Structure 1
Amino acid sequence: MLQRLWQARRIPLAWLLLSRQPLRLAVALAGISFAGILMFMQLGFRDGLFDASVTIHKLFDADLVMMSPRTMSSIGMAGFPRRRLIQAMGDPAVQGATPVHWNLLLWRNPVSGNTRSILALGFEPADPLFLDPELAEKARSLTQKGRVLFDERSRPEFGPIAEWFKQGRTVETEVAGTRVRVSGLVTLGPSFGADGNILTSRETFLQLLPGTPPGSIELGLIRLRPGSDIEATRQRLESSLPSDVRLFTKAGFEEFEKTYWRTSTAIGFIFTLGAAMGFVVGCVIVYQILYSDVSDHLPEYATLMAMGYRLPILLGVVAREGLILAVLGYLPAYAAGLGLYALVRNGTNLPVAMNSVRATVVFSMILVMCLGSAALAMRRLGDADPAEIF
């Protein structure tokens, strides 16, 4: 039995051809890994920036979101009449609603005195805003005029606000030229459109931005009764309300924001082009390696053909070489991607992380890259004629 298995074994010709020259194999794997890392980083940055654009959106306690049709993205929110939100409350499926003010204001660093744009959200402290149950307790402090909650995950350029507050110090600074005091900390995270966030009451927000039209808000969060059909309610409200408002499901609200950055800016194109360049670089490297390998071993291949091996069998050897290069080149690229993603998260607070979809996409691209290059290199083998070589 063991003797028959031994006799039936297949010689790993593809691996033997690749490993015959370790230095060439190492160079090939380094090139493939570099191309993989480039694709991981470009796609990771692209997806991370899209995810970062909806950092706040994901936290809202809402089933439906109302906003102006003139709004293009979170960096340019247009206002609409607050009474539209009150009208929506008349629908039997609506359980509650929260009017929200949304604008970028100038925050003064209390240490350096420099100003930087920060996202300010104004709401009624008694209304639900985020899914975090701890926010309701912290929001009570906002009932005092001139108080704000500071996002401790904001960029350090805003100053050591969280550190000072945790030390028990009184933290005061200016927002839009008006004196405010930090009454608590929240954990939200920066977005692509804003490096930091503050929460405040509607009264304080209007004090910070006195030019806000009376009765105008930028966002309306609508909560439905349990068991309600979200999409049916959205359609019903949108058809019954005037055309000066639009309604989205929460998922649709997030996708609306991502679509803006994906289609109305050069971000998606730039990072996708970067990934494509990594793919092309990898193709060139693998093709050169496999073409040289086939050329160097033409006499051996010709010998095998003269012994009766058919061309498709030898082409399969080259294809297996491409498959081996794809697998061995992908593993270090994946490991490096994990490390670089962690480095980017720690340095920028952007939500750049590995996921199964991106890992599969990059592996598929490397596999196509290697097998495609192998297919091109096979043409050299197809031109081989045992009679000419010998």
Structure 2
Amino acid sequence: MTNRQHRKHWKGPPLAWRNLMQSKARLGAGVSAISFAVSLVFMQLGLFSGVMKGATLLYDSLNFDIVLISSKSPESTYVPPFSRRYLYQAGGTNGVAAARPLYLAFRSWRNVETTRIRALLLLGFNYRDPVLRVPEVYQSLSALQRQDTLLMNSLSRSEFGPREVGLKTELNKRQVEIVGLFSLNNTIRADGTAIVSDQNFIRLNPGRSLDDISLGLITVEPGVKVDEVVQNLRQIMPATIKVFSRQEAMSRDREYWVKSTSLGYIIGVAVIMAFLVATVIVYQVLSSDVNERLHEYATLKAIGYTNLRLLTVVIQEALVLATLGFIPGCLLALGMYHAIFIATRLPVAMTVSRMLLVFGLTILTCSASGFVVARKVLVADPADVF
């Protein structure tokens, strides 16, 4: 039988696979370590993605092209109020179709079951203004006009207690009634949200008036370039008022949470550490295997195996470990994503692009370990070994 026929009919496992399978305990330890590292990387990347999406969720729910915001505000949910007269001034600018106010404040919500108090983000708006991209709001406008009523976010965390239409509780020590529900994923800072009319907002915020707005939401006329209106507004607004297009505002909030807080640093370090752990574990597994089989590799070298072919065997072992470790790590990450979403309601979800990225990084990390270990095989001299 020729070599070609022999290769055609040979059904046994490749040499790399057989080497790994001879020590199942070592293989299991290596796969488990890689799976842990992969799941950790997935979790950190998922949290990072959740932070990026959570940073802009408030803006995603609002209808505007340009926003006016206090210069003292670092991001969209922490907004010191400013005078409404600047919004009136912006409304008279060429190209502006409408300029509408939005009111924001964190207020104390009382859980009717546990009586515990928790900070809730309160959004107030004029019911005549289409400032919200939340369909449920406009189905409950008549109810919102009644005194001391609100819409509760059904995705608020469980610590806020039951979220049911007709439920009465205290908000900022004032009796309120839930007259409707809406669904909105939580922002990073706010894990509970409620919507009220501007009149009820003032009732729930003593000392605040309708002239003290949190955000000025501006829409431009059809066909008008947003950037041109932004530049015009920046020329007439004082230094205490910042003017941003929608994309600028969203980018600003993302940058704040990544660069101005420790979140970006912590997530980045965790990803690097996870891959370092995987690299060390794969190196240890492959190094132990090569040390035990150094005589065998030397024999193969003596009978004509080239360095490239021996290197291929070691790299194949690394790739097998990477693949076997990635699959359970990915499945574990899916479960972790679901648990994080249930606990925080942040938009954490698996994506195909992230799976491909982590798989590619896992292959690269394990291959790097394989190349380092393979040096022992490449420099091995059959005469010295025997």
Pairing 1:184-263 to 2, within 5 Å after superposition:
184-212=180-208, 215-263=211-259
In the alignment, what sits opposite 2:341? 345
Say whether 1:36 aligns with 2:30: no
Distance in 1, matches of 2:142 and 2:252, equals: 32
Query: How many angstroms does 1:37 deviate by?
Result: 0.9
Q: Does the 8 A contact of 1:59 with 1:131 survive in 2?
A: yes
Which amino acid is 2:174 matched to? T
TM-score (norm 1): 0.91
Match of 2:379 in 1: 383
What percentage of residue pairs aligned between the two structures are identical? 35
The C-alpha deviation readout for 1:126-174, integer Å capped at 9, x for no partner, is 1012223342232332222322111111112222132xx2xxxx32222
Separation (CA, whole Å) in 2 of partners of 1:80 and 1:232 = 24
Structure 2 residue corresponding to 1:365, chosen from 361, 366, 369: 361
CA distance in structure 1 between the partners assigned to 2:192 and 2:47 by the alignment: 19
SS across alignment from 1:247: strand
Structure 1 segment 293-372 matched on structure 2, within 5 A: 293-372=289-368
The residue number in structure 2 matching 1:180 is 176
1:20-79: CA deviation from partner (whole Å, max 9, x where unpaired): 333322222111111111111122223223422332221111222221111012442122
- Report how far residue 321 of structure 1 moved: 1.9
Cα distance, 1:214–1:342 mapped onto 2, change above 3 Å: closer
Give the paired residue count: 383
Structure 1 CA distance for aligned equivalents of residues 216 and 64 of structure 2: 9
Following superposition, the deviation at residue 358 of structure 1 comes to 2.6
Tell me, which stretches of 5 or more residues in structure 1 are unaligned?
A: none
Query: Offset of 1:385 from its aligned partner?
Result: 0.8
Name the counterpart of 1:65: 67
Structure 1 residue runs of 4 or more that deviate by more than 4 Å after TM superposition: 2-5, 7-11
Offset of 1:4 from its aligned partner? 7.9
CA distance in structure 1 between the partners assigned to 2:182 and 2:212 by the alignment: 26
2:122 aligned partner:
120
TM-score (norm 2): 0.91
> Within 2, Cα distance between the matches of 1:354 and 1:186?
25
Shift of 1:213: 5.7
- Opposite residue 104 of structure 1, the aligned amino acid is F
Distance in structure 2 (CA, Å) of the matches to 1:91 and 1:75: 27
Partner deviation per Cα, 1:350-386 (whole Å, 9 max, x = no partner)? 2211123332332232122201111211221133111
Structure 2 match to 1:285: 281
Q: Distance in 2 between matches of 1:270 and 1:345?
A: 20
Contact 1:148–1:181, Cα closer than 8 Å, also in 2: yes
The residue number in structure 2 matching 1:47 is: 49
Given that residues 157 and 343 in structure 2 are in contact (C-alpha distance below 8 angstroms), is that contact kept between their aligned partners in structure 1? no
Contact in 1 for aligned 2:63/2:131 (Cα 8 Å): yes
Q: Is the 8 A contact 1:57 1:254 kept in 2?
A: yes
The alpha carbon displacement at 1:101 in A equals 0.8
Q: Does 1:6 align with 2:5?
A: yes
Q: Deviations over 1:202-240 (max 9, x none)?
A: 122112112226622111112223333223332332233
Closer, same or farther in 2 for the Cα pair 1:62/1:144, shift >3 Å?
same
Measure, in 2, the Cα distance between the counterparts of 1:86 and 1:217.
12
Residue among 83, 89, 92 paired with 2:91: 89
Aligned mates of 1:159, 1:19 — CA distance in 2: 53
Asked whether the equivalents of residues 74 and 193 of structure 1 are also in contact (C-alpha less than 8 Å), the reply is no
* Residues in 2 aligned to 1:335 and 1:226: alpha-carbon distance in whole angstroms: 47
Instruction: Please state whether the residue corresponding to 1:161 is helix, strand or coil.
Output: coil
Which whole-Å CA distance do the structure 2 matches of 1:346 and 1:115 have between them?
21
- Out of 131, 149, 152, the residue aligned to residue 147 of structure 1 is 149
CA contact (8 A) 1:126 1:136 kept: no
Is the contact between residue 126 and residue 140 of structure 1 (CA under 8 Å) also seen in structure 2?
A: no
In the alignment, residue 43 of structure 1 is paired with which amino acid? L
Alpha-carbon separation, structure 2, partners of 1:330 and 1:82? 55
Which ranges of structure 2 fall in alignment gaps of 5 or more residues? none
Does structure 2 conserve the Cα–Cα contact (< 8 Å) formed by 1:31 and 1:285?
A: yes
Asked if structure 2 preserves the Cα contact closer than 8 Å seen for 1:135 and 1:186, the reply is yes
C-alpha RMSD of matched pairs (Å): 2.3
